[in-house]
Structure 1
Amino acid sequence: MLDWSMSTPNSGPGTGPPLSASEERTWAMVSHIGVLVAAWFAMGFLCPLAIWLLFRSRSEFVRRHAVESLNFQISLLIYSAIAFVLVLITFGLGVLIIVPLIVIGAVAALVVLIMATMAASSGNEYRYPLTIRMVH
């Protein structure tokens, strides 16, 4: 159990010593590939959000990767909501177009997710395509 009475103003989530280069690459990778675990619960954005909240002040590299992954996941949610609305508006006929687009989009999302994870592993930056950048 945590003793909050002993905490300092700079303690809590997101604070602590800077991360080592190895830790930075590991957490940056997790911000991308961890989405696959969270996606099983239709909450793919939770993993990069948690990593961003926990490590944003400890590592600029991890912050950038987590924000990029978070923005991509939010963009996917927005695109999915638009697809759902289009299906409703067309009384289900939009399914003929939307389903193939969802399959193609899912494969493309998996490919860019793997590319982002590999970039993080190498210590490089990655920018997801077709991403609405709302979180900075």
Structure 2
Amino acid sequence: MEGMNSSYAVGDLRVSDAERDGVVERLQDAYADGRLEHDEFDTRMQLAMTAKTRGDLAVITADLASAPRFGAVDEAPTGEDRMLAAAAHAVAVPTLFVGPLVLMLVSGKRSEYVRRQAAEAVNLHVTLLLITIVTFGVGGLLYAVTWILSIIAAFHALAGRTFRYPWILRLVKEPRPGISG
């Protein structure tokens, strides 16, 4: 034990997989929000996965710290909120954007979590409808994929996690934590 220094700075402490996972989630959110370019995202992901100390991780997200993370909610969603959010994704399969829109307008006033998830489902199906119109119906083949994504999103919502569909137009904006609207 002689020669060991027990006065390490916090930044010099080794990181755990859980700490790396938190940074990876923050980077994924920043990329999904458009705050990181693809190349920068790849570089930072590599750095996060190979980081040894807390200081290494802090550098990776230093310029992202002040931006609000999407999906951060002041309070954990209730069981009812999770069920309604899951329903917003699931009801989109037979009703397209109409069912999630109704849930967003009715239940979204009461719960920010439900509003976010319903808005995401509305955005997906409006995007898909526009693709179908522009491609003269050929884009309708994507509906099979969206049914699978809707089921995955519903399970995420039931677990109280935020789900973001990839490559969609976000015409209906989700509220940010602490911002009413």
TM-score using structure 2 length: 0.50
Gaps of 5+ in 2: 1-76, 174-181
Q: Which has the higher contact order (CA 8 A, sep 6+)?
A: 1
Distance 1:108 1:131 in 2: 13
Q: Which has the higher helix share?
A: 1
TM-aligned CA deviation for residue 37 of structure 1: 2.8
5+ residue gaps, structure 1, are 1-19, 39-43, 88-97
| Equivalent residue number for residue 11 of structure 2 | none
Give the structure 2 partner of residue 55 of structure 1: 107
TM-score, reference length from structure 1 = 0.66
Q: Which runs of 4+ in 1 moved over 3 A?
A: none
Q: Tell me, what secondary structure is at the counterpart of 2:135?
A: helix
CA distance in 1: counterparts of 2:97 and 2:145, whole angstroms: 17
Aligned residues: 97
Aligned to 1:21: 78
Q: Say which one has the larger Rg.
A: 2
Tell me the equivalent position of 1:91. none
Displacement of 1:110: 1.5
Amino acid at match of 1:50: V
1:45 aligns with 2:97: yes
Aligned to 1:70: 122
RMSD: 1.6
Cα displacement string for residues 35-61 of structure 1 (whole angstroms, at most 9, x for unaligned residues): 1232xxxxx111011001001221011
- CA deviation map 1:44-103 (0-9, x unaligned): 11101100100122101101000000000100110000111xx7xxxxxxxxxx3xx643
